[in-house]
């Protein structure tokens, strides 16, 4: 399991050489969070020069999202908001990230392993027959925002769904909260939740959220007390259906009234969390929300 990361700003993290086998060019990565048990990672890639690699087969569910600049996937150029998802064991086409670009990159249920091939046809012929789901390529800039269901947050949120696994419910989506969006309750979920902030600012019990802040929150960890000081956008991922279980009238440190869940059900009640990983620019934290 990955550590509870809340909050860090990516600028507080050091650069490593990008762990993207068989690539050519210059790519650096900041490791936002990693799972040393299976290799799952959330990374921020920075291209110091053009970087690219051939078609091949990925060893993990793989995603790329362009924050700034552009990348090419199989000849299709994707600017800011461009998104590619490749299921584990599936063939992906050649990829190029242009110099100066910033790209978020995720690997899930596997490590950075990659089997290179001369072209997509050869890679597809060698790919796992179980990898029936194809590659998803999206341009979020051409998508319309849709209002999220009203169940849960007290005021409307807006979404752009980039990908959802039909079997597991694992999804990646963009979330927009309007200025003034607020929720005073504490929530926890049956799945993990991670986000990277693309724009805007929000006051939050774990610290200020602004562009470049990141969170990885394991399942059933409580969080809350949001106030959007400006319109704010995130890219958000969860490894299952995100159900909100709310706690109100919370005690000073832990506990409270279980508003819409059974506090005696060992499968859904919130768990005690150790102190989260936080980066220096987020400042001191009072423990509020725990």
All structural domains of the chain: 13-140 (2.60.120.10), 142-282 (2.60.120.10)
pLDDT tens, residue by residue, 189-211: 999 999 999 999 999 888 899 99
- For residues 183 and 150, the answer to whether their CB atoms sit within 8 Å is no
For residue 74, report the phi and psi dihedrals to the nearest 5 degrees. 60, 30
Mean pLDDT score of the chain: 90
Sign (positive/negative) of CA torsion 106, 108, 112, 115? negative
DSSP string, 10-37: GGGSPPEE---TT-EEEEEEEEEEE-TT
pTM over 0.85? The answer is yes
Give the DSSP H or E segment for 176: strand 171-177
Where helices occur in 34-129 by DSSP H, the ranges are 120-126
Where helices occur in the chain by DSSP H, the ranges are 120-126
Q: From residue 213, give the alpha-carbon distance in Å to each of 31, 42, 204.
A: 13, 13, 12
Sheet architecture: strand order including 91-92: 91-92, 56-58, 114-116
Report the alpha-carbon angle 55-58-63, nearest 5.
95
pLDDT tens, residue by residue, 244-287: 898 888 765 567 888 898 888 878 878 766 678 777 787 777 77
The reported pLDDT for the residue numbered 273 is: 60
């Amino acid at each position: 399991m990955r550590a509870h990361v809340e909050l860090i700003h990516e600028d507080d993290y050091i650069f490593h050489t990008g762990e993207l086998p068989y690539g050519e060019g210059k790519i650096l990565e900041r490791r936002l969070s990693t799972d040393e048990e299976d290799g799952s990672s959330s990374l921020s890639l920075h291209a110091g020069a053009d970087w690219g690699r051939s078609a091949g087969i990925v060893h993990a569910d793989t995603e790329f999202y362009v924050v700034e600049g552009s990348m090419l996937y199989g000849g299709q150029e994707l600017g800011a908001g461009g998104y590619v998802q490749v299921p584990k064991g599936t063939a992906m086409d050649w990829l190029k990230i242009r110099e100066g670009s910033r790209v978020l990159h995720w690997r899930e249920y596997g490590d950075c392993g990659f089997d290179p091939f001369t072209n997509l046809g050869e890679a597809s012929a060698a790919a796992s027959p179980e990898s029936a789901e194809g590659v998803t390529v999206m341009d979020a800039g051409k998508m319309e925002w849709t209002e999220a269901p009203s169940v849960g947050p007290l005021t409307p949120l807006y979404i752009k769904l980039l990908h959802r696994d039909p079997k597991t419910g694992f999804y990646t989506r963009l979330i927009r909260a309007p200025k003034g969006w607020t929720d005073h309750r504490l929530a926890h979920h049956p799945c993990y939740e991670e986000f990277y902030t693309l724009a805007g600012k929000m006051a939050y019990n774990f610290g200020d959220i602004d562009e470049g802040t990141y969170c990885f929150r394991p399942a059933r960890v409580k969080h809350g007390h949001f106030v959007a000081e400006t319109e704010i956008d995130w890219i958000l991922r969860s490894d299952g259906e995100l159900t909100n279980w709310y706690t109100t009238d919370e005690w000073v440190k832990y506990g409270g009234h279980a508003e819409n869940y059974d506090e005696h059900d060992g499968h859904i009640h919130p768990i005690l969390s150790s102190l989260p990983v936080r980066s220096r620019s987020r400042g001191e934290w009072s423990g509020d929300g725990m």
